[in-house]
Amino acid sequence: MNLVRAIREDIRCVFERDPAATSWTMVLLCYPGLHAVWAHRIHHWLWCRNRKLLARVLSQITRFWTGIEIHPEARIGRRLFIDHGIGVVIGQTAIIGNDVTLYQGVTLGGTGKGEGKRHPTLRDGVFVGNNANILGNITIGEHSRVGAGSVVLRDVPPDSTVVGVPAHIVYQGGKRVLITDPREVNDPLSDVILALADEVKRLKARVERLDGELQQATRQEEPATAFMAEEEERAQYRSEMSSRSDYVSMGEGI
């Protein structure tokens, strides 16, 4: 693709995605994300021609200049927009499609010292919020969105929105996704939540059983309780009558 045409295309995508961009001069001079992407094209060209040391040295200079680190081997598509950009890290085997947007602090990293493909793949139209971490050889599907501060460790299907640590799907295909099983979140605390739910269920069953036994015992004691109350009323009545001067007892049987 013609270099001048590619530069114009990159600048045009900034105007489409950033309302703060007001002039071509501002975009050319004040957008480090663009500078990092343009420099990466040169670094990648050198890397592919086995000028790896020179490519790494130049990428480190670009990192110091822009605050964005992109490994020369990473494959980046057209119209990548890195907004603000400070702290963005794109790993060696990462693959980024067309029309992708990254905000500051995004990391496309690995999860260990494994060989081969160990960094994420972002398909076309992906949006990644600030300080999100996408780790490992996983794929983010077309037009998906990753919420700010999320940690993504599993593949994300197309047209989805994921949030959380670890990230889980909250929207898919424009529809809200309701999570009914804590296991779906894949959170380390999921087992604790499940254990608490089981304990609450067990205690609830025990309370219901004890409540039933108490009601049954109460029903059995009701006749005796009523008889005792009647005897107490009679004794109180006799005591009151005996204290009166005009009371004459006619015998206990009457």
Mean per-residue pLDDT, 115-130? 93
Per-residue pLDDT tens for 16-65?
998 888 888 898 898 999 999 999 999 999 999 999 999 999 999 999 99
- Asked if residue 67 has pLDDT above 90, the reply is yes
Q: Residue 210 has what pLDDT?
A: 83
pTM score of the predicted model: 0.71
Residue 75 has phi, psi (to 5 degrees) of -105, 120
Per-residue pLDDT tens for 173-191?
888 877 666 566 666 666 6
- Annotate 8-24 with b (16+ C-beta within 10 A) or e (fewer): eebeebbeeebeeeeee
Per-residue pLDDT tens for 183-236?
666 666 666 777 787 889 888 888 888 887 777 777 665 565 666 767 777 777
**Range ranked top by mean pLDDT from 74-78, 211-215, 244-248:** 74-78
- Sort 245 into a burial class: Cβ within 10 Å, 0-12 / 13-18 / 19+: exposed
> Do the beta carbons of residue 146 and residue 156 sit within 8 Å?
yes
CA proximity to 106, closest of 124, 125, 84: 84
pLDDT band at 254 (very low <50, low <70, confident <90, very high): very low
